Amino acid sequence: MRVLIAEDQVLLRDGLTRMLAAYGFEVVATVPDGDGLAEELVAVRPDVAVVDVRLPPTFTDEGLRAAVAARQSVPGLPVLVLSQYVERLYARELIADRAGAVGYLLKDRVGDVRQFIGALRQVAAGATVMDPDVVAQLLHRHDALAVLTPREREVLHLMAGGHSNAAIAARLVITEKSVSNLINALFAKLGLAPSGDHHRRVLAVLTYLDHR
């Protein structure tokens, strides 16, 4: 079975390669960062890919976004995602296409070799394999906006309506500085790591629309 591994940590990447070889898998490609990962997945078309969520250059969600993009080009491309965290937005998008052949495991599960190998084989066979902790967090997605104050929700609502910071300030009769502070606060509460304010603004609005 042909496997592509996308993992930036050399020791983990090499360890996965040796472990998979011991279980009869053929590692046909290894990718250390998110640049070009989606294209590599489409070009190689492995029987299954093992992809870390957070890869260079920004260590946010490159791996997961690349997996989603690759599966848009090759529906049902088998991908097992590994992460220390649950990236809710793209995790839901990965699963929502209903094509199957996806998995999402937290990295500490890799320590259970039999469980990991079993999950990898299931994903390659077209099944959906979800870590119980991931499922629990995704089921509580309705709480995502509960951490925001009423004012932060109001700002997010106006952002979703396409209003600029200046327009929001005028609408709420506050300063642009106050608007900026409120936006930075809601970014932090929604778990949107620094990756460019425009990108985070889009993600914040998508989160808002997904939880209305």
Q: For residue 37, what are its two tokens?
A: 């990962």
Q: For residue 110, what are its two tokens?
A: 């890799």
- What is the band of 201 on the pLDDT scale with cuts at 50, 70, 90? confident
Q: Tell me which DSSP letter residue 36 carries.
A: T
- 66 Cβ contact partners less than 8 Å away, ≥ 6 residues apart: 6, 34, 37, 38, 41, 51, 55
Q: Parallel, antiparallel, or unpaired for β 2-6 and 26-31? A: parallel
Q: Where are the domains of the chain?
A: 2-139, 143-210
18-44: per-residue pLDDT in tens? Answer: 999 999 999 999 999 999 999 999 999
Q: What is the pLDDT of residue 196?
A: 57
Q: Which amino acid is located at 157 in the chain?
A: H
Q: What is the pLDDT of residue 175?
A: 94
Q: Sheet holding 79-83: strands in order across?
A: 26-31, 2-6, 48-52, 79-83, 102-106, 128-130
**Domain range 2-139, CATH architecture:** 3-Layer(aba) Sandwich (3.40)
**Domain range 143-210, CATH architecture:** Orthogonal Bundle (1.10)
Cis peptide before 194 (omega within 30 of 0): no
75-134: per-residue pLDDT in tens? Answer: 999 999 998 877 766 676 776 666 889 888 888 777 789 989 999 999 999 988 888 777
Q: What is the pLDDT of residue 96?
A: 66
- What is the band of 144 on the pLDDT scale with cuts at 50, 70, 90? low
Of residues 189 and 180, more confidence is placed in: 180
